[in-house]
Structure 1
């Protein structure tokens, strides 16, 4: 069943902003594409309002309801950053408690609107993407969709130094975050749970698996991230160009990439572009200097999507050495640009990357990663056409499976099926 243009959709996106970090981008992509197809009510946090207005929102057939919990969210975030200045993951764990207050405020306001006559045919909570997501939107008495959810990735204990820097001692406390989901009985009242990975599905109680549908949370704008011819083969005239895109935090493990680059730098002409910001930047810049490769690296900080595309087009490969990665949206962006990718064989990347589009590295320990990464980089120099072909296959795969257009189309199809089932069960 396809959606009729009169079907009313309520989209809750706690994080929702264009040209922002990955989760906010997920909310924006769903909103901006649904808004031009169906009557849509977007519920989102008030902190997203400036970015949404700057992007021309409200778009299409939509209205936006802003939920203001900043009196709680602001101080909570500042406290989290003071307690965990080196760990964005720990900061997120603490500051995300605001999402529960946001949901309570939203449900109260939406029930008031419902009492005044406003109705919705399907409800979709698209962000946050955590499998511990809790909501009481089911009180609006319409089919409820959660996700795509992503998480439940095992902790990489084989990298103890990296985990220590990321305040891993806090990780067991994540189980406490499931209490609201259990207390509110969210999953019992959900008609469809979109799960991004096998690890995510494993974290959902088995009795709800029949309600689960596979759908990656990340997508890619295949028009913005467009392909370009592969660079000239690495040589003295055009060095092997490597690009990393992501936050500079412990779990991203850029230090492993620096070690691998240092091992081949004396006999392979190369250049590494690092795009991103984070608490580890100064530490890793010092490390590069100590390894004697500082002059081979350019640190670009925050870049626009257009700048990212330009750096990807110059590159022979994108490397994502993250030791704990639930998603890996940057891999899709590189693949959309027809560039091969290298990542660790764990978490989300393990379900996106194979030998047809790049290479997965074994994760036994740090030394194993560094050794295999150095070998892979040298292989690009030895067999550039094989790696160029991986890039072309990556572009084809993204077009078929991972474009935002394809992803939202799947969501709309699911809405129609749920509405039909809901109506039949109400007869």
Structure 2
């Protein structure tokens, strides 16, 4: 098949959205001939260098950016980037229309950004269109806002407003209506898509890991010696919920345990102060921002991942932890709730901060006191990752979905 992929964010060797764009394109090119629409400003040279080292014969990139604004969004706010993205999508329609006249695509797939409240104008072309993975429908429960700073509340309010505006964009509605298949990263996003009139939404994680990385992480042996260590990894932002992790660790009252936090961000000082106020500063280790390899090494020195995020569409760190054989403690929200199972960790209900902190603490105590439980959950996580969440497997299953669409067969059987 001749497949056109829209990947505004696309870069090899990266996680999050750039990784989603790159890995989906690369894996699909093993089964079909693929053209990728993306930007030259951030990823062009990196992609060219990677393809020189590791050629993918069926993978072609088409680079373009706005003729006036170009890469100017990088010097603006996140809002500037979103405006740039919207305008780039309009430009992508005209680029894709010209390419379709020359090539004749069998299918078009929008991959990144992973945002349900922004349209893809490629859906207007007379070609079967897949939308997703898309996320962004997740919200921090209102009860948890009481712990947010004024600036953080403004952020959450603005996020609601931008999403509401997007939901009332007629082109978002058209994108939903014209998609032959919509894939959502979370249940919350699926609910928003149903409101847009989508009748069938497939829910599956946006994230994956290369098979070779899953194997490499599986080599991290569970530490056999004390102290028991929990780790949180990511940007120190209010919605990542690390303040809940610090409070839960204090409540767990594990005097011989440690809590490691890897990352940097605006919550750094607040988390330091909170650890001191709770009398656990000597047990909480802040490592700051580390290169990815060193971050994964720190994960290998710990016994479990604590990821109390309040609205993650993805949650790559949960997959990395499961691949490394580490149990995951997360809130039953967003992407982590889709990835983590009862065999691989604990998904804590998020009704109220005090309730969530108490239940997170109980899960930490259970893991700290039961080494066999840690091992069994870790092994289950490795099995889950190797059987369902390698990029190779995701690519094979997506290629089958493409074939089913082309043959006008049932989609559900191919996805399951």
> With structure 2 as the length reference, what TM-score do the two structures score?
0.87
User: Which residue of 2 is the match for residue 232 of structure 1?
Assistant: 224
Alignment of 1:391-410 (within 5 A): 391-410=378-397
**Deviation of the 1:380 alpha carbon:** 1.9
User: Which residue of 2 is the match for residue 12 of structure 1?
Assistant: 6
Q: 5+ unaligned residues in a row in structure 2: which ranges?
A: 410-416
Q: Is 1:64 matched with 2:61?
A: yes
**Against the structure 1 CA distance between its residues 287 and 74, is the aligned structure 2 distance closer, same or farther, given a 3 Å change threshold?**
farther
**Against the structure 1 CA distance between its residues 32 and 181, is the aligned structure 2 distance closer, same or farther, given a 3 Å change threshold?**
farther
Alignment of 1:104-123 (within 5 A): 104-115=90-101, 117-123=102-108
**Deviation of the 1:73 alpha carbon:** 6.6
Q: Could you tell me which of 335, 339, 342 is aligned with 2:326?
A: 339
Q: Aligned to 2:269, what secondary structure does the other structure show?
A: helix
Bigger Cα displacement from structure 2, 309-318 vs 245-254: 309-318
User: Which residue of 2 is the match for residue 55 of structure 1?
Assistant: 50
Bigger Cα displacement from structure 2, 370-379 vs 249-258: 370-379
User: Which residue of 1 is the match for residue 229 of structure 2?
Assistant: 241
Q: Could you tell me which of 80, 98, 107 is aligned with 2:84?
A: 98
Alignment of 1:12-411 (within 5 A): 12-46=6-40, 47-56=42-51, 59-69=56-66, 71-72=68-69, 74-80=71-77, 91=78, 95-115=81-101, 117-163=102-148, 164-166=150-152, 167-173=155-161, 174-182=163-171, 185-205=174-194, 208-225=197-214, 226-227=217-218, 228-232=220-224, 238-264=226-252, 267-411=254-398
C-alpha separation in 2, matches of 1:389 and 1:405: 25
C-alpha separation in 1, matches of 2:391 and 2:197: 26
C-alpha separation in 1, matches of 2:100 and 2:5: 15
- Map Cα deviations across residues 9-49 of structure 1 (whole Å, 9 max, x no partner): 11110111133341111111112222343221111122221
User: Which residue of 2 is the match for residue 3 of structure 1?
Assistant: none
**Against the structure 1 CA distance between its residues 391 and 51, is the aligned structure 2 distance closer, same or farther, given a 3 Å change threshold?**
same
Is the contact made by 1:136 and 1:184 (CA closer than 8 Å) also made in structure 2? no
- Map Cα deviations across residues 331-380 of structure 1 (whole Å, 9 max, x no partner): 11111111100011222222333431111223222222222222222222
- Map Cα deviations across residues 288-325 of structure 1 (whole Å, 9 max, x no partner): 34444334333333444433332222211000011222
- Map Cα deviations across residues 35-86 of structure 1 (whole Å, 9 max, x no partner): 3432211111222213323433673322211121385375445442xxxxxx
C-alpha separation in 1, matches of 2:133 and 2:205: 6
C-alpha separation in 2, matches of 1:114 and 1:231: 55
Task: Figure out how many residues of one structure are paired with residues of the other and give that number.
Answer: 399
Q: 5+ unaligned residues in a row in structure 1: which ranges?
A: 1-6, 81-90, 423-427
**Against the structure 1 CA distance between its residues 183 and 320, is the aligned structure 2 distance closer, same or farther, given a 3 Å change threshold?**
closer
Is the contact made by 2:109 and 2:130 (CA closer than 8 Å) also made in structure 1? yes
Q: Aligned to 1:56, what secondary structure does the other structure show?
A: helix
> With structure 1 as the length reference, what TM-score do the two structures score?
0.85
**Against the structure 1 CA distance between its residues 386 and 184, is the aligned structure 2 distance closer, same or farther, given a 3 Å change threshold?**
closer
C-alpha separation in 2, matches of 1:376 and 1:323: 18
**Against the structure 1 CA distance between its residues 25 and 162, is the aligned structure 2 distance closer, same or farther, given a 3 Å change threshold?**
farther
